[in-house]
Chains A and B, each alone.
Chain A
């Protein structure tokens, strides 16, 4: 299977200061595959996700990102998104003045360049919200404004389902959620696999969200390097025994 995403020797530093966070990451994700990126806090997991989206807080100093056959290194965030990468933010920002419905419709129209009829759009949106167990009234609320942690994560998955990207990066989408919310978010991710069939790169330090997903590959990131690639079995192992073994093997003192 062709790779939808190839990350080659990616080095990333903070934009504001000369601190390198990622020291040469190599990572390939095949079309439709589910990859899990795990690692201790501060390993650089979120930095990797953000760098793939060209977050202005980071600067890529070396290496390449190939997406869907094209080198997207250095491209602007909107172009990367339009090419088909979606990132679910760990802490989605509040956007006062723009309603959920208005925003998603505008985003889809900008992506496809085609006008959608309001009625068709609302029908589709409400249907998708139902999958996520979201109250329909959220459609008319300002995006993320006053949303609880769980509601923000659901709104992220709602966008994922509506925008239908080829690759979804989920950054700690399960953190801080209760059991019911995790179940709903998981249902949303399954829906994405089922209806869109895109690839997933799931950044997490927990494993609850993975229970109902068929994982293809697992990567462990520590100190800005991928120290181990493995199969789905690694998730269970980490779940039971933690990272320590892998950190030792990777020559990293905890």
Chain B
């Protein structure tokens, strides 16, 4: 008996919690930010072409059928191909869109670190022990002294 009451209470709680249903329910506003208008080459959110309007009708139809966000995006890919997604999928060749920039950054950071280390070892750094900057020549020093003496107030 107690188990039944607990189960009923859990079910009621799940049904009454708005967040649970909302998390699953797809919304046109959210999907528009994640997919492209293939003809316009912009986010669907920013597109007003006839093709974009048809795409919105298609998305709304799927939402009304109870499809999740992922299912709607899958249906769009089936219609328009991978390029309809604003962010490329993280698998196959499209994975390179994520991996290449990160790898390039890492390589650049390593190259920079090696360069700085070598520069410091060569004495280029502030503590590298390189030669102190040379002072003015003897002739320049004499001219400087003479000028200072002339304008000394």
Mutual binders A and B: no
